[in-house]
Amino acid sequence: MSLQAAGALSPAAPTPSDPLAQTPLHALHLRLGAKMVPFAGYAMPLQYAAGLLKEHLHTRAAAGVFDVSHMGQIALIPRSGDGAEAARALEALVPIDILGLGVGRQRYGFLTDGAGGILDDLMVARLPDRLHVVVNAANKATDLARIRAHLPDSLDVTLVPDALIALQGPKAADVLARLAPETAMMRFMDVRAVDILGAPCLVSRSGYTGEDGFEIAVPAARAEAVAEALLAAPEVMPVGLGARDSLRLEAGLPLHGSDIDAATSPIEASLAWAISPARRRGGAREGGFPGAEKILAEMEAGPVRRRVGLRPEGRAPVRAGAPLFAAENGGGAVGRVTSGGFGPSLGAPVAMGFLPTALAAPGTRVFADVRGQRLPLVVSPLPFVPAGFKRG
Amino acid sequence: MLRFTDEHEWLRLDGDVATVGITAHAAEQLGDLVFVELPKVGARLTKGEAAAVVESVKAASDVYAPLSGEVTEVNEAAVGDPASVGADPQGAGWLYRLKLDDPSAMDALMDEAAYAEFAK
C-alpha cells in the first residue's frame, strides 16, 4: 500500500522544496508527540499520541485544544478610530451585515467574486475601533491582497501575528472560566478582549466543531503558556487537524477548497442563511457586494444544485471526489462528493456533496462510485450531530 | 518464512499458502482503522493489483497483492472489527490467505531485518 495518503489532508501541501512555516506552538506539538504534516504551507499536528479517533470523541465528550494559528487573522483599522467606517468598507466585499453587527459580536460570512463564487469563508468580529477577520490559512495572502486592493486607504489592513488557539467541547466553558472568569458570561458569537495569564487575548465563543467553545487569539510569545494552562485542565486533550476535519464534517460545516470554492455560489452551498437580511432583495443595503446580482437572483429562483449531507448505507466511507449517480446502474454522474470519511461520533461513514436540487431532498437515495462499485447513500439533514452552541 | 514487501505488507508462508497482512509500521502510519474490505475467497490475484482496502478516519489505502495466487481464506473478524487490524496487524489482524502460484517468489522479498531498515 502507499503510505503517502496516510498523512494526507487537503488543502495539499506545497512542493516539498518550500520550507514549512511553524506556528508559535511548534515546540509544544513536538513535546506532545504530535505527528506533524504539511498543511497550507505550515507544519501542523495531524494527531497526537491518543490518535484521531480518541481526540475526536474526547472533544465531543469533554474538551480539546487545537492549534489553528495557521489561519489568517486580519485587522481592519480605520485611522479615524470610527469602527463603523471599517464595517461600511468591508460590506463592499461580503454579503453580510457588518454595520448592524454589535460591538463585541461576530458573524460568519464569505468573500464573493464578481461571478458570485466563494473566494473564502470567514468570521468578522466587530470591536470598538476595528474589525478582526479570521480567514482560511490557504487563502490568507490572497484575501489580504483583495481586502487591501478594494478598501479605502483610510483603513490600515494588517495581518495579526497572534497565535490562535481553539478550545472546543462541552467542558470548554468550565475550563476557560478557571483562567478567565468573565468568559463564562459570553454567548455564542460574542467576542471580547480578555486577560489570560497576563496576556492580552481576543476571545470569541465560536469554533469549527459543532460544539460549544472558544477561539483565543494570543500574542505569539505567550501562546505556549496559555496552551499549556489549558492542557493542564483534566478535561482537556490536545487535538490535531485530523479530528478537526472529522468534527467539522459531522457538524456539517463546509471546508473552503473542498466543499466550497470560487466555482460554488453561497446559495448552491446551502449558505443562504448567512446572507444578512439587510443585504438581500428589499433589504436596507441590498446588494453592493461582488456577484450580488447573480447571488440574489439565485436566492429567489432557487439553485440548480445544492450542498447536502450524505449518509452511506453501508460501512464503507465515501471519500471526496467520488461521483454521484441517481441510479444504481447506468446514467451519467449527477454530482460529486466534496468531503467524506468516517464520523467517529456516529460510528458510521458520513459525507457532503453536491446534487441537483431535484435529488437534494432529505431521504433521497443516490449512489456513489467507490472503487468501481455503486454504493447507496441517503441525503441527510446537516448537521449530522446536534450543535452544542451556547446561544442563550 | 516471514517476508515483507516495499508496499508495507507481510507474508507468512505455510506450505504453499501465505497469510497476508499490513505491517506494524503501516498500521502505525495509518492510525485508527474504521473499515476493511477483503477479496473474495476463490479470487485470483495478480501481483501488484489492489487486493484489499483499509481505511482510517481520514484516508483509504489499497493493499496490493504481494504475489500472484488464489485467495483461500479471509479474516472476517477484521471486517467486523477494523480496529483489530491496527491493534495486532502482524497477528490477529491478518487480512487474507493466498495459495501462491510460485512459493519460491517469496525468496525475492525482504526479510524482517531488511524491512526494518527499509521502513526507517
Taking chain B (120 residues) in runs of 10, the rounded mean pLDDT of each run is: 95 96 94 95 96 92 96 97 95 97 96 94
Q: With a cut of 70, which residues of chain A have pLDDT below it? A: 4-17, 392
Do the chains contact at B8 and A3, CB–CB below 8 Å? yes
Residue spans of the domains in chain A: they are 4-69+162-250, 304-386
A340 and chain B in contact, CB less than 8 A: no
pLDDT at A176: 98
Question: Residue A290 CA to chain centroid, in angstroms?
Answer: 21
Chain A partners within 8 Å of B26 (Cβ): 1, 3
Closest by Cα among A186, A35, A115, A309 to B30? A35
- CA B94 to chain A, closest CA, distance in angstroms equals 15
Do the chains contact at B62 and A3, CB–CB below 8 Å? no
Strand pairing partners for B110?
B4
Do the chains contact at B8 and A245, CB–CB below 8 Å? no
Q: Specify the fold of A4-69+162-250.
A: Gyrase A; domain 2 (3.30.1360)
pLDDT at A13: 46
A7 and chain B in contact, CB less than 8 A: yes
Question: Residue A54: closest CA among chain B residues belongs to which residue?
Answer: B32
Do the chains contact at A52 and B56, CB–CB below 8 Å? yes
Do the chains contact at B54 and A47, CB–CB below 8 Å? no
Question: Residue A342: closest CA among chain B residues belongs to which residue?
Answer: B57
Q: In angstroms, rounded to a whole number, what is the distance separating the alpha carbons of residues A10 and A207?
A: 19
Query: Which are the contacts of A78, defined by CB distance < 8 A and separation ≥ 6?
Result: A85, A86, A89, A129, A130, A154, A155, A156
Closest by Cα among A117, A164, A120, A125 to A140? A120
Question: Residue A49: closest CA among chain B residues belongs to which residue?
Answer: B31
Peptide bond into A381 cis (omega under 30): no
Partner residue facing A47 (CB), from B31, B53, B59? B31
A245 and chain B in contact, CB less than 8 A: yes
Q: Are strands A236-238 and A63-67 parallel, antiparallel or unpaired?
A: parallel
Chain B partners within 8 Å of A47 (Cβ): 31
Complete DSSP assignment for B20-63: EEE-HHHHHHH-SEEEEE-PPTT-EE-TTSEEEEEEESS-EEEE
Partner residue facing A341 (CB), from B29, B30, B57? B57
A251 and chain B in contact, CB less than 8 A: no
| Interface ipTM | 0.88
The CATH number of the domain covering residues in B2-100 = 2.40.50.100
Closest by Cα among A367, A52, A72 to B29? A52
φ, ψ dihedrals at A75, nearest 5°? -100, 130
Q: Specify the fold of A304-386.
A: Elongation Factor Tu (Ef-tu); domain 3 (2.40.30)
Interface residue of A2, A3, A247, A313 to substitute, partner B, most B CBs within 10 Å: A3
Question: Residue A349 CA to chain centroid, in angstroms?
Answer: 20
- CA B9 to chain A, closest CA, distance in angstroms equals 7
Interface residue of B4, B25, B57, B84 to substitute, partner A, most A CBs within 10 Å: B57
3-state secondary structure of A316: coil
